[in-house]
């Protein structure tokens, strides 16, 4: 596991990385908010060149604001441009709530339930 913090304050938002069946799984933890989204996006986008499947496990994300939502959408768009497979898994209640408000829950929920990439 490789722990990484998206800010200097690890209690804010962190993720650990582990390799599973040829995919990189990022176990996300904490609050995905405007304070951390730029660094989070940079860290994840840096993995796209590896050509592996990247799976974001969102089960321990305790809070996400509109900037966090924008980060997920931005990562998805960037992954397509980089020919990288990005998947979302185990969406927490706060993440589901915001995706529902933005009317994106169906697309993300399908990914979270079945480990498939966004259409």
**CB-CB contact of 57 with 89 (8 Å):** yes
CA 79 – CA 57 distance, rounded (Å): 16
Query: What is residue 40's predicted lDDT score, i.e. its pLDDT?
Result: 96
> What ranges do the domains of the chain cover?
2-114
- Residue 110, classed as helix, strand or coil, is helix
pLDDT tens-digit map of 70-79: 999 999 889 8
pLDDT tens-digit map of 30-88: 999 999 999 999 999 999 976 788 999 999 999 999 999 999 999 988 988 898 988 88
Closest to 113 in 3D by CA, of 96, 88, 95, 93: 88
Fold that domain 2-114 belongs to in CATH? Transcription Regulator spoIIAA (3.30.750)
């Amino acid at each position: 596991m490789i722990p990484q913090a998206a800010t200097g304050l690890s209690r804010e938002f962190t993720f650990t990385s582990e390799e599973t069946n040829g995919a990189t799984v990022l176990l996300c933890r904490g609050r995905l908010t405007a304070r951390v989204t730029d660094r989070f996006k940079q860290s994840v986008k840096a993995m796209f060149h590896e050509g592996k499947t990247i799976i974001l496990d969102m089960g321990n994300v305790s809070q996400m604001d509109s900037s966090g939502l924008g980060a997920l959408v931005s990562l998805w768009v960037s992954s397509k441009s980089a020919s990288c497979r990005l998947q979302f898994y185990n969406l927490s209640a706060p993440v589901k709530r915001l995706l529902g408000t933005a009317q994106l829950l169906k697309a993300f929920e399908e990914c979270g339930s079945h480990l498939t990439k966004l259409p």
